Homo-oligomer: A and B are copies of this chain.
Amino acid sequence: MEEESKSLPPKDNFSEWYNELLMMAQVMDVRYPIKGIYVWYPFGFSIRKKVYNMLRALMDVDHQECYFPMLIPKPELLKESEHIKGFEDEVYWVTHGGLSPLEIPLALRPTSETAIYPMYKLWIRSHADLPLKLYQIVNTFRYETKQTRPLIRLREITSFKEAHTAHATWEDAEKQVHEAMDLYSDFFTKLSVPFVINKRPDWDKFPGADYTMAFDTLMPNGRSLQIGTVHHLGTKFAKTYDITYEDDKGERQYVNQTCYGISERCIAAVIGIHGDNKGLVLPPNAAPTQVVIIPIVFKSGGEEVLDVCRKVKAILNDSGITAVLDDTNERPGAKYYKWEMKGVPFRIEIGPRDIKNNAVMLVRRDGVKQSIPMDGLSQTVQNKLMDFQAELLKKASDFMWSRIKDCATLDEAKAQIESGWARMSWCGEKACGLEMENVTGGKLLGEPKGMTGSGTCPVCGKPSDKVVLVAKSY
């Protein structure tokens, strides 16, 4: 495929850097002729595959994968009035089949509650059917009118992992909310993506939910990015779609439900947070290729070097490390450029001198360079991959926490959200929350899990131990 000859803009110019990088590293092609709709290049898709296989493995422990239809009949979508209000401006409508108008317009799923819950009504009969924990990974659609961005704000979300559970009681569903938060925490940690879990304010919860817990991370430009949500639905949808079970006294009860989702924004976070001026930096868990081996060949001795390279590749592959050998005719410098752009965590260079020393030269994607003995190579590389993974998380985490600032006034917060999260006391009143948003121009992300304070609400002055994060948000 085509080579790009442009150079990557510096990361300080984040938006431009991000868009160019996706093209240059061949993650997404942004030239598809519909606004907000993009193409996954094969390389980008291989990252997607790796990341989603990891997510699947976590889900499969106690969820079952399934598939519900993409088209939703208008009457089903409209049944839950609060829910539809949240989506009605954003739904794509199919109105024609061939040249004939359809009797009932069909919505492209913006999310699948209204496709799934009519089936849950049929599937759930008794206490023995609960809990029911299903998930699917599907394409969903939003007619976005805001500015679109690849992987972040899309009209076709190609990779929406949505889980839908049903339980006997509100408390059981609450327990599931916690399990889902643990699962997502595990997932993002494996991706080296730091996060804060915020309880969204009531006016910004998922349409139809009792409450919403959201995973937010911070992009390098100081903008907040929602990367996952977990919703307690209570009996709201169960009442609308008549989903009941027979309890042990033989009485019909409404189920309590949760749903939780993650989209390709998880990949946007990995790319945005870890990348640098040379291109992608992939944490080993998200890297389709973890190690690239590059032969350093001079005038003679090429075959011997290649033999050692092949041997090293085999040793690494055998121990479960995905290693490839780049034995093309390009200059080493061109190879370095190409593989750095694609974010391969480690490069191993092998030349005659390394062979003489019974060693290889290992270069981490962040430039750290070290000679490694051949003895115990795969174990050493494995350990170093784990170290690199952990260091990326620590670095990103340090950055994120350094950008949380306690602000006593709205003016202070307004300045802070240009580069990070403003933490403020909040009395809990909606009016004060909205005033925070109005004055700062930011968004109230909600109450961060595990954080409290002792201050006064900067709007009304009431003392409170509640704190909220406010940010400029994608």
Contacts and interface: CB of A to CB of B under 8 A. Distances in A.
A439 interface: no
A39 interface: yes
A61 interface: no
A156 interface: yes
Contacts of A48: 67
Interface string A311-338: 0000000000000000000000000000
A118 interface: yes
Contacts of A106: 34, 92
Contact of A94 (B89, B93, B119, B122): B93
B98 A95 contact: no
Interface string A117-138: 0110011110001001010001
Interface in A156-180: 156, 158
A67 B93 contact: no
A66 to B, nearest CB: 5
Interface residues of A, dominant DSSP: mixed
Interface in A28-47: 29, 31-34, 37-42, 44-46
A2 B88 CA distance: 33
A131 to B, nearest CB: 12
B29 A119 contact: yes
Copies of this protein in the assembly total: 2
Interface string A86-126: 00111111111111000000101000000100110011110
B68 A42 contact: no
Name the residue among A88, A90, A119, A129 with the largest chain B CB count within 10 angstroms: A119
Given A2-B125, A32-B69, A42-B64, 11 more contacts: A32-B119, A39-B67, A46-B65, A71-B92, A90-B97, A90-B98, A92-B106, A93-B96, A94-B108, A97-B143, A98-B143
Top 4 A-B pairs, shortest CB-CB distance: A97-B143, A42-B64, A40-B67, A89-B98
15 contacts: A1-B129, A2-B125, A33-B76, A34-B106, A39-B67, A39-B69, A40-B66, A42-B66, A45-B64, A45-B65, A69-B156, A70-B139, A88-B99, A90-B97, A92-B97
